[in-house]
């Protein structure tokens, strides 16, 4: 209650001071306003200079960002890349220990969602022999507490988090990885 009363008294004192200055014809607000307007104008000049500099550095308005796939304006839509060719039955060897194996076939149209996993239709332990597919690793049947489960662990259920289709595609970034000699 005391704080509220002090706040109200402060506000009324400020209002009385402004009213008295207006009555006496003395107003210091105008010069302060002009200085503030000049400062704002200077700020606007600096901002405009920054915009002009950005336009010089970024011709075409691409924002100065180049994609690994090339340069295109943000507003423009470039044609989609053609589908990559997936060589069938050509297994690419692993380069390092625990590397997730690459998928040696096309997976276009495969559903891997909360309700369905097309990969497990062939690669589950139950179906792999009949389908002639590689079985899912036993590591996929272990949870965080190292308990063995009857079905694929939820943290290993979404196959495409780790496994990708192998394709004859030009790398976006040069890869200088060299496998350890003792593992070759």
pLDDT tens-digit map of 142-178: 999 999 999 899 999 999 999 988 877 777 788 888 7
pLDDT at 107: 87
For residue 123, being part of any structural domain is answered with yes
CA distance 135 to 126: 9
The CA-atom distances, in angstroms, between 68 and each of 71, 162, 169, 172 are 8, 22, 14, 6
For the chain, what's the residue count? 184
For residue 182, being part of any structural domain is answered with no
For residue 73, being part of any structural domain is answered with no
58 φ, ψ to 5°? Answer: -125, 70
For residue 8, being part of any structural domain is answered with no
| Domain limits for position 139 | 112-161
Spans of the chain, pLDDT less than 70: 1-66, 68-77, 87-91, 181-184
For residue 104, being part of any structural domain is answered with no
pLDDT at 69: 63
pLDDT at 99: 85
What is the domain count for the chain? 1
* Mean pLDDT for all residues in the chain: 74
Report the CATH number at residue 131. 1.10.1130.10
User: CA Rg, the chain, in Å?
Assistant: 34
Three-class secondary structure of residue 60 per DSSP = helix
pLDDT at 27: 47
Task: Give start and end residues of each alpha helix (H) in 1-88.
Answer: 2-24, 29-57
For residue 178, being part of any structural domain is answered with no
For residue 146, being part of any structural domain is answered with yes
CA distance 28 to 20: 12
Half-sphere exposure of 100 (CA within 13 A, CB side): 15
For residue 78, being part of any structural domain is answered with no
pLDDT at 66: 67
CA distance 69 to 116: 33
């Amino acid at each position: 209650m005391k704080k509220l009363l002090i706040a109200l008294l402060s506000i009324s004192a400020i209002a009385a001071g402004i009213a008295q200055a207006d009555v006496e014809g003395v107003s210091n607000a105008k010069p302060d306003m002009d200085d503030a307007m000049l400062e704002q104008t200077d700020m606007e000049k600096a901002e405009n200079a920054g915009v002009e500099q950005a336009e010089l550095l970024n011709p075409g308005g691409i924002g100065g960002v180049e994609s690994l796939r090339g340069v295109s304006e943000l507003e423009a839509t470039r044609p989609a890349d053609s589908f990559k060719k997936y060589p069938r039955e050509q297994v690419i060897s692993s380069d390092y220990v625990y590397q997730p194996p690459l998928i040696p076939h096309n997976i276009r149209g495969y559903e891997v969602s909360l309700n369905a996993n097309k990969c497990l239709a062939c690669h589950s332990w139950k179906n792999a022999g009949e389908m002639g597919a590689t079985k899912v690793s036993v590591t996929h049947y272990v949870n965080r507490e190292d308990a063995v489960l009857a079905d694929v662990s939820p943290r290993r259920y979404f196959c495409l988090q780790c496994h990708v289709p192998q394709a004859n595609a030009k790398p976006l970034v040069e890869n200088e990885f060299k496998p350890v000699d003792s593992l070759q």
